Amino acid sequence: QVQLVESGGGSVQAGGSLNLSCTATGNIDDRYFMGWFRQVPGKEREGVAAMEGDSWTKYADSLRGRFTVSKDNTKNTLFLHMNRLTPDDTAVYYCAAEPRSARKILTMDRLQANEYSSWGQGIQVTVSS
């Protein structure tokens, strides 16, 4: 399994931006589905954005337009650019990876936490009003 380490979290005022990074120990080119999730205490882990290959992306409907996922394969790093943040975006953010397969390409939603087998340790994002 690939190991993942998130960075870039912290505190920001509402309306601000943050960029998260997720660095993998191995190649994350087209071998893996990659995803960003977030979780607040007492709630299930929520899918934020997913990326496959070099350009295919999927976003939670409520976040599309504010969040952007991207990847730098040369650095084995996945990014999440978060704009116009609100206090509701406060959560622990996680990076996740799942090996691709022909079957999974057809069946995975890509934004369900139980679809992913490798996880980072999580990083706190706090947005103050």
φ/ψ bin of 97: left (φ > 0), alpha (ψ from -120 to 50), beta (otherwise)? beta
Work out the mean pLDDT of the chain and round it to a whole number. 94
**Residue 73 binned pLDDT confidence (cut-offs 50, 70, 90):** confident
Token pair, residue 104, equals 């999974």
| pLDDT on residue 54 | 85
pLDDT digits (tens, 9 = 90+) for 15-42: 999 999 999 997 877 889 999 999 999 9
**Residue 51 binned pLDDT confidence (cut-offs 50, 70, 90):** very high
Among candidates 125, 91, 115, 110, which has minimal Cα distance to 49? Answer: 110
Residues 107-119, mean pLDDT to the nearest whole number: 95
DSSP codes joined into one string, 38-49:
EE-TTS--EEEE
Residues 50-69, mean pLDDT to the nearest whole number: 93
| pLDDT on residue 1 | 80
DSSP codes joined into one string, 92-126:
EEEEEEEE--HHHHHH--SS-GGG--EE---EEEE
Among candidates 96, 68, 94, which has minimal Cα distance to 81? Answer: 68
Q: For residue 55, give the amino acid letter.
A: S
